[in-house]
Amino acid sequence: MEFKRVEGGVCAPKGFMAAGLHCGVRRSQAKKDIALILAEAPCAAAAVYTQNKAFGAPILVTRQNLQNGFARAVVCNSGNANTGNADGVEKALRMCELVGESLKIAKEDVIVASTGVIGQPLPIEPIKEGISALAKALSKDGGADAAEAIMTTDTKKKEIALEFELSGKKCRIAAMAKGSGMIHPNMATMLSFITSDVAISPTLLDRALKSVVADSYNMISIDGDTSTNDMVSIMASGLAGNEKIESENADYAVFAAALKTVAVEISKMIAGDGEGATKLLECAVAGAPSEKTAKLIAKSVICSALFKAAMFGEDANWGRILCAIGYAEAEFDITKIDVNLSSPKGKIEVCKNGFGVDFSEGKAKEVLGEKEIRIGIDLRQGDFGATAWGCDLTYDYVKINGDYRT
């Protein structure tokens, strides 16, 4: 399937406008801290949420608002997570009310999200002024500003838009996300907002999103911490004019593939922009006896702090990979496993049949000196595979998180 990249971010699909600006939640006036996405028409909508029991108030409110499977807008502030506050739900509901009043839509049609410091009361006055200003600033060119406004410790905006065809109609799907630290999904990983102009039922949209999350957002890890506010949401306006998808037909398969492409690319952007990271790590497992085993092993390697530190030091310490494989909670024969490391500079085999093989340390240093490293693992015990993404562990990770709140 061919998917063409297009410009515009979340505004690339028909029927969407966005804006982002500084309202005052964050101290620095140079940093945008509130974003808004508006759909011209009611959208089929779905979301997947963090499984952290200490979830933020916006999660509760968005769950309630999406019970009917429809939405019109997304509002998100950065700098304050609105989590662990006695008045959190009240503030999240108020954000929805303010969007509803400013855009003349039902408050229940708003997806609300917050990201930032946990346990500090969310100031509503700057948000009130910010939402009013956002409503006036909405435009088809506002996707980049919205993507910037949801960033916290991110070093770069994360957005993508693709174009494809369904039954002869041009369709688009796009996403923006934030995520750099406190990322270890047990649903999602961060905040990601997806837009599309495909006509699809809420039931099928929800099914597609949940399926895709399992192989993308759920397969990345930065630091082993599952955030309190993680959410991936999607709105589909239906304005592309395709025949509405109401069954798992050929059009559904194309849409799901486009959604997965967007999700995987966004996930890789998040993994590569981990706090203090210098390298994107991709662990690809093949030959597993089951998909579950493949996923467990891929995630086990990506989550290993010792392995991540070795990648930062450009040290081909493959024993740390084998160790992480070995403690994955799955059944397999360690004596059949092969491991290799590769990058644009080449490929080296480091393990065969569970045992080390000779390799050039000089070549290994060259391979691991690149910005993107692939860890290939072949279990040779089945036909299943999985891929996970992460980043190296650096000195700067501790620096960033040592004084994050203060």
Q: Which residues are the active-site residues?
A: 189
313 Cβ contact partners less than 8 Å away, ≥ 6 residues apart: none
Nearest-angstrom CA–CA distance, 261 and 189: 17
- Residue 315: Cβ within 10 Å count: 15
Q: Give the pair of three-digit tokens for residue 136.
A: 């006036």
Q: What is the dihedral of CA 80, 84, 86, 91, to 10 degrees?
A: 30
β-bridge partners, 75: 36, 112
User: Pick from 172, 90, 86, 155: which is nearest to 397 by CA?
Assistant: 155
How far lies 378's CA from each of 264, 289, 307, 335, in Å? 22, 11, 18, 11
Angle at 282 between CA 278 and CA 286, to 5 degrees: 165
